[in-house]
Amino acid sequence: MKIIHFDVDTELNKYFDGEKYPYTLQEITDKKKFSEVECITIKSFSYINKKTLVFFPKLKLIVTRTVGMDHIDLDYCKKMGIVVNNILDYGSFNIAEHAFALLLSGTRNIINSQKEIQKGIFSYTNYLGISLKNKRIGVVGTGKIGLEVIKRAKGFEMEVVAYDVYKNEKAAKKLDFPYITLEELAKTSDVITLHAPLLDSTKHMINKKIIRLMKKGVILINTARGGLIDTRALVNEIKKFRWVGLDVLEDEEKFTKKHPLLTFDNVVITPHIAFYSDASVKKIAEETEKIIYDFLHKI
């Protein structure tokens, strides 16, 4: 089987053999180059659809090195007889850790204090922090990542509430948290952190209506998918938030220095790196190879 890996960065490159390319499927120009390829592996910036699959007439297997699959036209792949696999978990704890990194960078003024530090001003007076102990954190989405966040929130002695269409009652009992409505979560939470998949039903779930229900001074964290938040609504209501920590953005592949959220001091943005650690890169490579191996031995 001829295999090609796309979107391969320098760290992942250490683990993969064979043909590897740093670019996305949208950047392919040579139609003949991949005509014999039977398997490709990709990341979320490569879109799988009729337009990109034209380069792979013999394709049998697609492995997306992500949990989410919203960048793939699954119906079209099924129609074409192409098997699609994702990586269900390459270390949920990685994303949970990053969610708390974004959270603490705001509650303890780690980012904002650097401006004065770099000017040679060493003073605490403008940087009163917020303790997480006894604060209510609303976790939206209680899959593997959401549950890892809850475990860490318990370590900070936070009060945890959650919202999910599919309630994990066993986990709720074990970790001692209740499920409530999204509206109630928005009204009562001091911190709101998003860990839901991007679906038609979840797109812009954080919208003008929900934001207006939130407390003044609420903190919003998103390490899931950018489309969960209506960016325009967030920009319009930005003064309501003490801190917004985002690892993902709507249309992040089109990101430029003119992005409207870059103008606010209460926003920190990281470039979709919540997953990206030494442990996760190795796990992604191992899981990718395992999926390919299992597919080959089922043929």
Active site residues: 225, 252, 272
Is residue 221 within 8 Å of 99, Cβ to Cβ?
yes
Sequence-ordered alpha helix ranges (H) in 176-217? 182-188, 208-213
How far is residue 187's CA from residue 177's CA, in Å, rounded to a whole number?
Answer: 17
Q: Which two tokens stand for residue 30?
A: 């040579």
Distant-in-sequence, close-in-space partners of 159: CB < 8 Å, separation ≥ 6? 134, 135, 136, 137
Query: φ and ψ at 179, to 5 degrees?
Result: -95, 135
Using only C-alpha atoms, what is the Rg of the chain?
A: 21
Chain CA centroid to CA 294, Å: 27
With CA atoms as reference, report the closest residue to 224 among 243, 252, 182: 252
Which H or E run contains 243?
Answer: strand 241-246
How far is residue 27's CA from residue 29's CA, in Å, rounded to a whole number?
Answer: 6
What number of other Cβ atoms are within 10 A of residue 15's Cβ?
16
How far is residue 201's CA from residue 3's CA, in Å, rounded to a whole number?
Answer: 35
How far is residue 259's CA from residue 256's CA, in Å, rounded to a whole number?
Answer: 6
Q: Which two tokens stand for residue 90?
A: 């390459």
